[in-house]
Amino acid sequence: MADKGLASIYTDKTGIYKHREWRGLKDTAYDYKMWCGLWGTLLKWALGHPVTNVKALFRYRWMFDYLKVPSFYDRIMEGARGAALKASRNNMNALAVSVTDLLDTLFEADLHLHPGDEKAIKAGEKILPVDELIPALIFKGFPDLKPILWQEIPEYLPSLINCHSPEYYIAQTESYGLPADVCPLPVTELGIAIDDDYPVVAAKGFVSCNMPCDGSIMTSALQDRRYQLPTYPLNIPLRWKRDDVQEYAIAELREMIKFVEKQYDTKYDWDALRAAIAIWNEQVELRREKWELNRTDIPPHTGSTMWLYSIFEHQVTGGETPCLENDRKVNAYLREQVSNRECPKVIKHRAVIWNTPANMYANFNAWILNCWGVDVVADMIDFMGFDTIDTTSEDTILEGLAKQIQGATMRVHTKGGIHVMFDDLWAKVAEYNADMVIMFDQISCKGVGAINGLFEEEARKRGINFVWVKQDLFECTSISRRDMREDINDYMSLVMREEPLDPSLVDFDDSECW
């Protein structure tokens, strides 16, 4: 099978595996065990509230995407061996546990599924819907509430699991007259609102925010119109690296806390927050260790499962014990492999990926490693949550949280002035000893698109291999996965004049693949 190449196990167009991937006896057995573990989590969840879950399946278009999770997991850890496989499987299975818990919380209170039901209303009154860009750690100070990053379940995760998931919702928004050049992420969020496909709960308030970009600011306003809840629009400074804007950021957090206290008639619990921050601080240390290990000549865990888990941890599970326990376990695997000087993969190039990853091709990192031996040792989206939080006083806590929130996913690089994103790229190239930069040209991202030339000129000056890969984040109809592969294939064959490690992966049709 190795001779035939990895693509030989794909069904044409859909990419569905004809059979499981053979990774050698030990790794295949481990992979199978963890795959069964995933099914266990899913079945436990499905059978926990079978009627509600079936109702949800028929009520929400995006729910069907969660049925594709096992296939998605296989795709994004394709080719992984050793510690990378263990880390990937453990990370993703931990994520599955957390998401199924969230689904339970959400559906229990969902008035779409339980119209007029007293129990659902009561459960909903404890739910605090929050924009998905606000890291949830700060809400650990409300232990009696259940903060839910509102767009994460219906929008963000499905867009990763099934690249065709956003198409319908994007069409909903554009049919109202929104231009098609806007970033498809906020467009999808809005489409779900227009289609009334967000759960409806008896929440008492909503916390929106101005992150990460102009499109998101505007979609918040429109979603607000749909939710019809008292809203606190959290404003985070854009020039967030400056010391003199921190006062504003902290004042905004204080006001937000007051808003939630008032709406939910509750009190902010600083001790509960301190306990969560202690967990978070250890998570940060473990994340730093992961980065450190990937700086070695035998990077143990690279790829999509690394950044995907990282986003989830920063935004959702920061300050949660199960996540910390998973981190400890995963880091032990990675540490062991590096200390044994093992590297169960072929690395021809060490690459840094810059700009936001394409949700519609979450397994891009796996593909480029398996096909061309390009190991993405550093991914822009993975770098956030650098600092631990000082819990000495309420002021130091808020100071730390303000920094953590301002440095949320994506905007940690795309806001704060050009040097935040620009300088950090070259710093990462040096730190990770990379010989290649894969620059995602996310065509509808105007904030980054407007400085494309600066990156291009600097790369030329530095003489680094700089590959532009066009993508459209959520939209696989404008730029397909195959188009993205073509950008790489052209560069590797025409500029680098290299032969692929696995020729079967160079070109294949996955147009109907989830």
Which residues are at the interface with another protein (CB under 8 A)? 176-179, 181-183, 208, 210, 213-215, 217-222, 224-225, 231, 233, 235, 237-239, 242, 244-245, 247-248, 251-252, 255, 414, 417-418, 441, 443-444, 446-447, 449-454
- The Cα–Cα gap between 148 and 322 comes to 17
Q: How far is the CB of 175 from another protein (least distance, A)?
A: 10
Q: How far is the CB of 343 from another protein (least distance, A)?
A: 38
| Strands of 465-471's sheet in order across | 374-379, 349-354, 436-442, 465-471
- The Cα–Cα gap between 187 and 178 comes to 8
Q: How far is the CB of 130 from another protein (least distance, A)?
A: 15
Closest to another protein by CB, 40 vs 417, is 417
Closest to another protein by CB, 241 vs 329, is 241
Q: How far is the CB of 186 from another protein (least distance, A)?
A: 8
Q: How far is the CB of 257 from another protein (least distance, A)?
A: 14
Closest to another protein by CB, 148 vs 421, is 421
Q: What are the angstrom distances between the C-alpha of 426 and each of 75, 430, 432, 464?
A: 30, 6, 10, 10
Closest to another protein by CB, 164 vs 446, is 446
- The Cα–Cα gap between 183 and 217 comes to 12
Closest to another protein by CB, 299 vs 416, is 416
- 323: helix, coil or strand? helix
Alpha helices in 49-146 (DSSP H): 50-59, 69-76, 82-108, 118-124
Q: How far is the CB of 60 from another protein (least distance, A)?
A: 23
- φ/ψ of 331, rounded to 5, equals -60, -35
Q: How far is the CB of 324 from another protein (least distance, A)?
A: 34
Closest to another protein by CB, 108 vs 399, is 399
Q: How far is the CB of 77 from another protein (least distance, A)?
A: 33
b/e for 214-246, b at 16 or more Cβ within 10 A?
Answer: ebbbebbebbbeebebebbbbbbbbebbeeebb
* Residues 504 and 4 sit within 8 Å (Cβ to Cβ): yes
Q: How far is the CB of 424 from another protein (least distance, A)?
A: 15
Closest to another protein by CB, 107 vs 240, is 240
Closest to another protein by CB, 10 vs 259, is 259
Q: How far is the CB of 247 from another protein (least distance, A)?
A: 7
Q: How far is the CB of 133 from another protein (least distance, A)?
A: 13
Closest to another protein by CB, 115 vs 453, is 453
**3-state per-residue secondary structure call for 425-489:** HHHHHHHCCCCEEEEEEECCCHHHHCCHHHHHHHHHHHCCEEEEEEECCCCCCCCCHHHHHHHHH
Single-letter amino acid, residue 139:
F
**Nearest alpha-carbon partner for 286 in 262, 309, 260, 261:** 309
| Strands of 127-130's sheet in order across | 146-149, 127-130, 206-209, 231-234
Closest to another protein by CB, 233 vs 344, is 233
Closest to another protein by CB, 29 vs 418, is 418
- Compute the chain's Rg from CA coordinates: 22
Burial class (CB in 10 A: 0-12, 13-18, 19+), 297: exposed
- φ/ψ of 197, rounded to 5, equals -105, 15
Closest to another protein by CB, 234 vs 476, is 234
- The Cα–Cα gap between 186 and 459 comes to 31
**3-state per-residue secondary structure call for 342-402:** CCCCCCCEEEEEECCCCHHHCCHHHHHHHHHCEEEEEEHHHCCCCCCCCCCCHHHHHHHHH
Q: How far is the CB of 166 from another protein (least distance, A)?
A: 17
Single-letter amino acid, residue 106:
L
Q: Which residue has the tokens 């902290």?
A: 250
Q: How far is the CB of 409 from another protein (least distance, A)?
A: 17
Closest to another protein by CB, 250 vs 464, is 250
- The Cα–Cα gap between 384 and 379 comes to 11
DSSP state of 239: S
DSSP state of 209: E
